[in-house]
Structure 1
């Protein structure tokens, strides 16, 4: 029996063989659900895009965007996150936060990102853990810069993010309730930042978010608190795991690493391929708002629908030789940042820049970086995560 729900499955690795079988034989497949009657597993690229671009038919608000089921009080709180909203409320909230994530605003961070990458690699020598020394601290330091938060808070944000996302993994925490507490702490952290910026504005994202827009609309401190949860988790986990899975992809395909070392013009397409290959966020859930169809499959109002981005990103109808890691792949219409529509990743520009600068810096500083043991994977059906990756940091010879 194909199993896509159990987090333990993913600790052994993404079940690409099973996802591929479903995509070929049952692309909209009724899957058992330990918390409910079941859900439709959507694995074909065209269908994932269709669901993503039709929020009027497939709601993030009704059952939330996560695959699990939650008590109604928890749902009401989580619906304050734009992740769990539908247009028009989602559009209104997103327009307020989008002003901090325009390409022009993100471009101002490039020099800071370069400095962070060099500082992190300055502390790398001999053997170490790529995740805790490089992949995890990079996005957290960038997030601290965005928020105007002290870099000293990086470890706190790292811990809260792990507890919130990794609650299925005993290494990070033991209960769902602890994950809820971590979310509350993150919200309080954002609230405090917002209150401080109201008293003393700075040149940072929080200050921009609490300023009234042209129509007078602005985010409240509670809104900023909920946005902080989203930024710390989404901005940290996606880049962190794209970086670590990307490094692992280069270890598994050394010809592609040599190709990048020989031709740095491949950095931009390499980033797109890393995101396609890694697909850090593996799935999101939607709820049908009316009787409809996905492909040839009838869907009833109220049905749970789960789109599997990792399956769509290996769809041979869209990607020639989809199981080949090719840093020159072009075109590359992956759904690693979402399938389009209103929930396309707000931080895509930032994530691309972080990954490009990181791998450019690694190629310059440690061209002979090599694995020194097996990577340990996160126990999660949501994040394609690596917890630990032993490496040898080898500088250029001569």
Structure 2
């Protein structure tokens, strides 16, 4: 039956070259570092085995899992927390020891309703449309400053000089942190998401130390705001809600860590991946230069095309069935957003980068439900304004060397993208 254990796709290989006859591997970080998301494999699974029983990795302690690759199924899993839990074994792909799981369950990412609903209501105060709308002018000023700095040089690394600083500046503005701390937060975030990339995290201890450093930073910032409240996100998060509920110290620290990583990585990699998409599809860049009204749709298409977050994990809370495949309680279920965003059943010509795509129900910010990305409006605002400013000031931007990809099955990211103007 579809999804039977150990099934190898005929012609599927250990790289996106699907001619080698070995078992499909959707979580090999070397594939992502070399070629990006394995879209050939995804397409084949959507056609032949959309709920696929994927081999585990005994050396890393990973059990077999169900790989969910079709759009409708990813949305179904995302919207049914009562069947597919973030809480039981957490939302990230790796398996953690039991003693680490308990602490990680305090993070909103690793909770299910109703607890997740309560926590989200507490932090949602900092992400209202009014709050985000007030940031647009500041985002515009940041984008102009970043572009002006590199324009004088005539060349840049698009990732480090433009894509990475933008969300970090915005985060510093949101939390009331000194802009001078952005390099520190950049390095700590890289280390946390770079568990499979030796350039960012040579040893697991460095990942642990980075998390501890962010917790210490959060504690210091919280103490400062308790003593001297300001009109910023941290001050709002520390206040009790209408029911008198407040975030505990551990809850605040873990949300702060989530904000630093998620608020930075998604926008950074969407921006750099979007720029690379324009280089690979120059007619779309010319189209944008000729018609700036396409900018809002371009932001959505960039998110669909890049899909900065590739996957999340869920755990079945009871025996269930997905597309006629029997899934047992406690089975590991992994949803692949990068595959869902290229689903032929939902998107016309999904392999085309089309900034005028309409409709574009991309799920690069999650498939809905409890865990839909809190900062999705802010991320699209940053993308829209950034590419507006680049089109205005750097219309002749060009790629001058190969892009270097992050070695990660979690984040579809670029580490380097050399450009000139």
Same structural fold, with TM-score higher than 0.5 when normalized by the shorter chain: yes
Deviation of 1:177 after TM superposition, in Å, equals: 2.6
**TM-score, with structure 1 as normaliser:** 0.98
Alignment of 1:11 onto 2:33: yes
Deviations 1:45-65 (A, max 9, x none): 000000000000000010100
> Which secondary structure state, in structure 1, belongs to the residue aligned with residue 126 of structure 2?
coil
Task: Count how many residue pairs are aligned between Structure 1 and Structure 2.
Answer: 393
The answer for the alignment partner of 2:268 in structure 1 is: 240
Deviations 1:245-298 (A, max 9, x none): 000000000100010111000000000000000000000000000000111111
**TM-score, with structure 2 as normaliser:** 0.92
1:176 to 196, 204, 216: 204
> Which secondary structure state, in structure 2, belongs to the residue aligned with residue 21 of structure 1?
helix
2:225 to 167, 182, 197: 197
Alignment of 1:228 onto 2:250: no
Deviating 4+ runs (over 3 angstroms):
none
Identify unmatched segments of 5+ residues in structure 2: 1-22
> In 2, distance between residues paired with 1:289 and 1:231?
28
RMSD: 0.8
Q: Is the 8 A contact 2:63 2:332 kept in 1?
A: no
Identify unmatched segments of 5+ residues in structure 1: none
The answer for the alignment partner of 2:407 in structure 1 is: 379
The answer for the alignment partner of 2:106 in structure 1 is: 80
Deviation of 1:218 after TM superposition, in Å, equals: 1.6
1:57 to 68, 74, 83: 83
1:121 to 126, 136, 147: 147
> In 2, distance between residues paired with 1:154 and 1:55?
35
> In 1, distance between residues paired with 2:249 and 2:388?
38
Alignment of 1:305 onto 2:333: yes
Alignment of 1:25 onto 2:25: no
The answer for the alignment partner of 1:69 in structure 2 is: 95
Alignment of 1:343 onto 2:365: no
Deviations 1:74-107 (A, max 9, x none): 1112111100011111000000000100111111
Counting only pairs closer than 5 Å after superposition, residues 140-159 of structure 1 correspond to structure 2 as 140-159=168-187
> In 1, distance between residues paired with 2:99 and 2:44?
38
> Which secondary structure state, in structure 2, belongs to the residue aligned with residue 287 of structure 1?
strand
> In 2, distance between residues paired with 1:230 and 1:75?
16
The answer for the alignment partner of 2:5 in structure 1 is: none
The answer for the alignment partner of 1:100 in structure 2 is: 126
> In 1, distance between residues paired with 2:186 and 2:99?
26
Deviation of 1:71 after TM superposition, in Å, equals: 0.9
Q: Is the 8 A contact 1:206 1:224 kept in 2?
A: no
> In 1, distance between residues paired with 2:254 and 2:378?
20
Which has the higher mean CA deviation after the structures are superposed, 274-283 or 103-112? Answer: 103-112
1:109 to 132, 135, 138: 135
Q: Is the 8 A contact 1:283 1:307 kept in 2?
A: yes
Alignment of 1:283 onto 2:305: no
> Which secondary structure state, in structure 2, belongs to the residue aligned with residue 327 of structure 1?
coil
Q: Is the 8 A contact 2:83 2:317 kept in 1?
A: yes
Q: Is the 8 A contact 1:5 1:33 kept in 2?
A: no
The answer for the alignment partner of 1:368 in structure 2 is: 396
Deviation of 1:180 after TM superposition, in Å, equals: 1.8
The answer for the alignment partner of 2:18 in structure 1 is: none
Alignment of 1:253 onto 2:281: yes
Deviation of 1:37 after TM superposition, in Å, equals: 3.0
